[in-house]
């Protein structure tokens, strides 16, 4: 038995056991979390690099383009877009392909252009002819008609007609409009060829009413 000493003299007291330093144990869960965070950081860096590489020049709408109107170079502007793959924008290199096509929908300034918004089909298609209707402002069914608007031309009764039978309806598509100096409104309408003679006669008799059926 070992004796403790005090000032060199033995003292009858037990000796304190030596302290044992416990080693820290590494938790597997924390180690896995650290590995996961490192992996996610690597994926984020890779995504950032990919987005930078995807930056390119694309076409955007610079000013309003109505349905049916041909697109000109002045209607478009080149912009830099990063990561726009999912939007399917038109590359600025394809400007020559776009100019001359018609707007299939209304093009709004500040939006990226897509090929789905354009068409090569003319509003005056096969089997249709165009007529011009001169109307007073109060006879126009909207403040402004746009190319591509669907309209109904309805015949009105003659002044000496005894019966008030429902008028005949003709369906048409607005090609364009104009406002001459006399403030009348000229509406250019595409009609099926079979309907043109009847509508021309009714228009000459001032017996035609224009109704907006569907806005473009």
Is the per-residue pLDDT at 151 higher than 80? Answer: yes
Identify which of 58, 112, 51, 59 has the alpha carbon closest to the alpha carbon of residue 83. Answer: 51
In a shared domain, residues 141 and 192 = yes
> What CATH number is attached to the domain comprising 102?
3.90.1210.10
Q: Which one has a higher pLDDT value, 49 or 204? A: 204
Identify which of 69, 42, 87 has the alpha carbon closest to the alpha carbon of residue 148. Answer: 69
> In the numeric block, which tokens belong to residue 192?
């099926």
Identify which of 192, 189, 169 has the alpha carbon closest to the alpha carbon of residue 178. Answer: 189
Is the per-residue pLDDT at 53 higher than 60? Answer: no
> What pLDDT does 17 receive?
57
50 in a domain, yes or no? no
- Sorting pLDDT into bands at 50, 70 and 90, what band is 19? low
In a shared domain, residues 148 and 174 = yes
In a shared domain, residues 115 and 135 = no
Q: What CA dihedral angle connects 102, 193, 167 and 176, to 10 degrees?
A: 30
In a shared domain, residues 140 and 98 = no
What is the number of domains present in the chain? 2
Domain hosting 62: range is 56-119
- Of 31-40, 135-144, 194-203, the one with minimum mean pLDDT is 31-40
In a shared domain, residues 115 and 176 = no
110 in a domain, yes or no? yes
Is the per-residue pLDDT at 15 higher than 60? Answer: no
165 in a domain, yes or no? yes
14 in a domain, yes or no? no
> What pLDDT does 98 receive?
93
In a shared domain, residues 74 and 101 = yes
Tell me which of 71, 95, 119 is where a domain ends: 119
In a shared domain, residues 110 and 141 = no
136 exposure class (CB count in 10 Å sphere: 0-12, 13-18, 19+): exposed
Q: What global pTM score does this model have?
A: 0.56
> What CATH number is attached to the domain comprising 193?
2.40.30
Is the per-residue pLDDT at 198 higher than 50? Answer: yes
> In the numeric block, which tokens belong to residue 178?
């104009």
- Sorting pLDDT into bands at 50, 70 and 90, what band is 94? very high
Is the per-residue pLDDT at 25 higher than 70? Answer: no
Tell me which of 119, 142, 166 is where a domain ends: 119
Provide the β-strand partners of residue 41.
Answer: none
């Amino acid at each position: 038995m070992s004796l403790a000493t005090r000032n060199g003299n033995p003292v009858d007291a037990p000796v304190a056991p030596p302290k044992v330093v416990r080693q820290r144990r590494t938790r597997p869960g924390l180690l896995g979390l650290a590995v996961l965070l490192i992996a996610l950081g690597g994926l984020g860096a890779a995504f950032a690099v990919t987005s930078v590489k995807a930056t390119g020049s694309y076409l955007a709408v610079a000013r309003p383009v109505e349905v049916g109107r041909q697109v000109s170079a002045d209607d478009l502007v080149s912009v830099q877009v990063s990561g726009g793959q999912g939007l399917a924008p038109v590359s600025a290199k394809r400007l020559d392909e776009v100019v001359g096509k018609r707007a299939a929908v209304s093009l709004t300034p500040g939006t990226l252009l897509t090929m789905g918004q354009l068409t090569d089909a003319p509003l005056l298609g096969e089997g249709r002819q165009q007529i011009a209707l001169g109307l007073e402002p109060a006879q126009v069914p909207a403040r402004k008609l746009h190319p591509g608007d669907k309209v109904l031309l309805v015949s009105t009764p003659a002044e000496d007609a005894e019966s008030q039978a429902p008028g005949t309806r003709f369906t048409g598509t607005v090609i364009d409009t104009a406002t001459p100096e006399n403030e009348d409104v000229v509406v250019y309408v595409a009609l099926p060829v079979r309907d043109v003679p009847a509508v021309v006669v009714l228009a000459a008799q001032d017996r035609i009413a224009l109704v907006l059926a569907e806005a473009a």
